[in-house]
Amino acid sequence: MALDPLGAVSLQSIMALSGRLALAALRLWGPGGGRRPISLSVGAPGSFGCGGNSEKVKLSLKDVAELLRTRACRRVVVMVGAGISTPSGIPDFRSPGSGLYSNLQQYDIPYPEAIFELGFFFHNPKPFFTLAKELYPGRYRPNVTHYFLRLLHDKELLLRLYTQNIDGLERASGIPASKLVEAHGSFASATCTVCRRSFPGEDFRADVMADRVPCCPVCTGVVKPDIVFFGEPLPARFLLHVADFSLADLLLILGTSLEVEPFASLSEAVPKSVPRLLINRDLVGPFAYSPRSTDVAQLGDVVQSVERLVDLLGWTQELQDLIQRETGKLDGQDR
Ligand code: CNA
């Protein structure tokens, strides 16, 4: 597939796609093959988009799979949240009943957000470390969704994966750090809240597992894992979004309520001509309140949706082989 300097699909590439997809793609990128968004008449009654025109084209999951399979889209930016890790056994925040916000009695905090507030942490760091013990890398394993994203990387289709998760499962699936933006930090490193010395997160594993608040070996200040609390700046790598989202030719959004800023607004940062696929239990963020004609929403369980996409891509066997290989490696590490 030929790409223009901005990474857009050329007319020739688009015409190689057949039938409805070719028509949809032509409308997406315009007859010159450039990134110039042209007005779309996409959207059937009850679908997303502007609708109201007799020429109606609506992208489907199958169309997105075709864009990926044919490599018409090869600069995929992915945004994920806690919903991709619930199948690994880690509760999200907001799912009613199972989410952490519904089950905070054990943490002894006045209100849910307190667990990630610096003011409360300095007053009482124990609730955060109770949660940290739960989420520390090594306890949970990546699931089908993480390995699907790893496969995107292996196929050189992944431009960058932006995650809000702090469970480290993207790293554990084998996606290299260079492809990741851990927007809300990780347990991989930690910083003394007093002298600001930085340490590998691993240095404090024993403390966290033994329910001890970790202290700086130099100044005895409390050491906080480099998880981004409310009001703290995001890691410098987050700035990569400026280039990534303008280069992206497909945006995948999985397992997030898109309620936490500034992360949530990234979903609006791709040009309007770029298709966005939401895989989530419910319709969230701009997919609900300002949908674009090029949006696709696959609602339901994330694993089932990903498996459906993988099937449409013809990657099922490859994904199974990858999972088997990687699971074997993790089994080996556990021994
Ligand atoms: P959230 O606000 O809890 O939203 C999760 C979304 O995922 C919701 O829309 C759910 O409906 C959806 N969802 C949950 N399970 C599934 C499933 N099996 N299939 C399909 N959809 C599902 O979480 P966000 O990530 O949007 O919020 C951002 C917070 C959550 C970040 O600051 C994270 O650090 C924080 N968080 C992270 C983890 C983790 O690292 N695993 C766990 C809990 C919270």
Distance 177 CA to ligand 1 centre (A): 21
153 flagged as catalytic:
no
Task: Specify the DSSP class assigned to residue 96.
Answer: T
With a 6 Å cutoff on the Cβ, whether 164 touches ligand 1 is yes
**Which residue is catalytic, options 123, 146, 153, 184?**
184
Residue pair 98/91 in contact by the 8 Å Cβ criterion: yes
Give the pLDDT confidence of 268-281 residue by residue, as tens digits: 999 999 999 999 99
So what's the pLDDT on residue 204?
94
CA distance 187 to 202: 8
Q: What is the 3-state secondary structure (H, E, C) of 2-36?
A: CECCCCCECHHHHHHCCHHHHHHHHHHHCCCCCCC
169: closest CA among 266, 76, 299, 81? Answer: 81
CB count within 10 Å of CB 220 equals: 11
Q: Which of 79, 80, 92 to mutate to test the pocket of ligand 1 (most atoms within 8 A of CB)?
A: 92
So what's the pLDDT on residue 165?
95
The structure tokens 């082989």 sit at 321
State the amino acid at position 113 in one-letter form.
E
So what's the pLDDT on residue 43?
30
Q: What is the pTM of this model?
A: 0.83
Distance 83 CA to ligand 1 centre (A): 4
Task: Specify the DSSP class assigned to residue 44.
Answer: -
Distance 103 CA to ligand 1 centre (A): 14
With a 6 Å cutoff on the Cβ, whether 281 touches ligand 1 is yes
Walk along the chain (335 residues) in steps of 10 and give the mean pLDDT of each run: 32 32 32 27 30 56 97 97 95 80 76 89 93 87 98 98 96 96 95 96 94 96 96 94 97 96 96 97 96 96 98 98 93 76
So what's the pLDDT on residue 278?
98
The structure tokens 């994920």 sit at 80
So what's the pLDDT on residue 34?
29
With a 6 Å cutoff on the Cβ, whether 284 touches ligand 1 is yes
So what's the pLDDT on residue 40?
23
